[in-house]
């Protein structure tokens, strides 16, 4: 499977030589045939124009967010307890400070978790882990953990 990480307008990226995250505002083709990007920083007032693709990288959770829709179809059917297309991707730290990317799949409202259902979900998550084995989550030090779990939605 070949994953497509072509930067799109609206993607969040990091730029070498700059701190913080940027959102892609525009993507154009330069005179040499390569992509050029216009980026806006999360800090007010900083816009970069003419940034080339090799200067950008995706943060770990953005890599997962872009790869997940491409990997899901290869992992077999979605467990029947999960809402189709409904998941959250978040970046945080584990108790010891190790970076982690969490993917939360939303359960259908009528689902009551059980040990049997958790086994089905874990089998599905194992397949997802295999699908992500070649996605470089953190190129700096290979220490970012990728974890999957199911999430109940509570009514107001």
Tens of pLDDT, residue by residue over 94-138, are 888 888 899 999 999 888 889 999 999 999 998 888 888 877 765
Judge whether 149 and 104 are in contact, CB under 8 Å.
yes
Q: Is residue 38's pLDDT more than 70?
A: yes
Residue showing tokens 């108790």: 95
Give the pairing type, strands 12-15 and 145-151. Answer: unpaired
Q: In this structure, what DSSP letter does residue 127 have? A: H
What number of other Cβ atoms are within 10 A of residue 144's Cβ? 21
CA dihedral (109, 115, 120, 123) positive or negative: positive
What number of other Cβ atoms are within 10 A of residue 4's Cβ? 8
Rounded distance between C-alpha atoms, residue 115 and residue 121, angstroms: 10
Percentage of the chain with pLDDT > 70?
A: 93
Could you tell me the pTM of the whole model?
0.81
Judge whether 154 and 111 are in contact, CB under 8 Å.
no
Rounded distance between C-alpha atoms, residue 60 and residue 92, angstroms: 11
**What average pLDDT does the chain have?**
87
What number of other Cβ atoms are within 10 A of residue 64's Cβ? 23
Fold that domain 60-151 belongs to in CATH:
GMP Synthetase; Chain A, domain 3 (3.30.300)
């Amino acid at each position: 499977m070949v994953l497509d990480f072509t930067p799109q307008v609206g993607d969040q990226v990091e730029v070498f030589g700059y701190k913080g995250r940027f959102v892609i505002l525009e993507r154009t083709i330069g005179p040499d045939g390569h992509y050029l990007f216009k980026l806006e920083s999360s800090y007010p007032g900083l816009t970069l124009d003419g940034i080339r693709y090799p200067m950008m990288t995706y943060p770990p959770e953005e890599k997962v967010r872009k790869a997940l829709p491409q990997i899901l179809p290869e992992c077999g059917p979605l467990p029947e307890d999960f809402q189709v297309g409904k998941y959250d991707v978040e970046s945080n730290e584990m108790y010891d400070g190790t970076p982690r990317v969490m993917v939360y799949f939303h359960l259908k409202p009528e689902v009551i978790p059980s040990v049997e259902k958790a086994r089905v979900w874990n089998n599905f998550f194992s397949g997802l882990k295999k699908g992500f084995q070649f996605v470089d989550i953190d190129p700096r030090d290979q220490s970012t953990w990728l974890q999957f779990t199911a999430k109940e939605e509570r009514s107001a």
